[in-house]
Amino acid sequence: MSKTVLITGATSGIGKAIAQLFAQKKYKLILCGRRQDRLDGLKETLSKHTAIATINFDVRDRKAVFDAIASLPKAFSTIEVLVNNAGNAHGLELFDVADIDDWDAMLDINVKGLLYVSKAVLPQMIERKSGHIINIGSTAGKEVYPKGNVYCASKHAVDAINQAMRIDLNEHGIRVGAVHPGLVETEFSEVRFKGDTERANKVYQGYRPLKPEDIADIVHFVISRPYRINIADLVVMSTDQASSTIVKKDL
């Protein structure tokens, strides 16, 4: 019987690529996001490979998170793998002019949302003394770059929470690890720049950014190791990227 994997932020980018790969690998999938049309489309396409359930909630809404996970049909209620992927950057501004609403959104989604989903899924893992949580962090959680301020802070928090979960859940036999990507071409910059597609596209021009499929492949490697192995922390960048601010652009 294949494992059940819950993926947050499955409607786009990295989460969607994980959903597509994992469906081909025959994992049972619970796909989460807010855009119902996209959840419906994924369910229709991926159901030819595996069993799919979708749940729609905003990770910021604590009650909605717990209700949605409690509402899963029995066939999907044993979650072996949780991929905490939902998140975004909102804005790229110097600290003094950045929008406080953007700061709230990033802390609420990237940090508190990840905490809520983890708390909602954890009890059953603890009961079984088995489970695997993958937190999608970022290179922005390993260093700070100009104008990245609160996005970087939110991803540093993910890095800290990843370590904290691994320490505190150790006695329960649960695997916890993070994958920290560098620049990946997704809708991330479109969201960060509030729909300014021209500005967003420029982020990925002149070099070879990572593709969401690259991260999906790595997450699959992480979850498919024998249970004695826990890949605790993995930073992955495009060959053309050396750090958040050093990217070799000559294409």
Burial of 163 (0-12, 13-18, 19+ CB in 10 A): middle
Active site residue 151: yes
106 touching ligand 8X3, by CB under 6 A: no
CA 214, CA 1: separation in Å to the nearest integer? 26
Question: Binds 244, which of ligand 8X3, ligand NDP, none (CB < 5 to 8 A, cut-off by type)?
Answer: ligand 8X3
Cβ at position 164, least distance to ligand 8X3 in Å: 20
CA–CA separation, 222 vs 233, rounded Å? 10
Distance between CA atoms of residues 45 and 48, nearest Å: 6
Interaction between residue 191 and ligand NDP (CB under 6 A): yes
Decide: is 76 part of the binding site for ligand NDP (CB under 6 A): no
The residue type found at 202 is K
What's the closest the beta carbon of residue 96 comes to ligand NDP, in angstroms?
24
d(CA 195, CA 127): 43
Backbone angles phi, psi at 80, to 5 degrees: -90, -30
Q: With respect to ligand 8X3, which residue has the nearer C-beta, 106 or 120? A: 106
Of 35 and 129, which CB lies nearer to ligand NDP in the complex structure? 35
Catalytic residue annotation = 151
In the complex, the residues that contact ligand NDP under the rule CB under 6 A are 8-15, 33-35, 38, 58-60, 85-88, 109, 136, 138, 181, 183-184, 186-188, 191
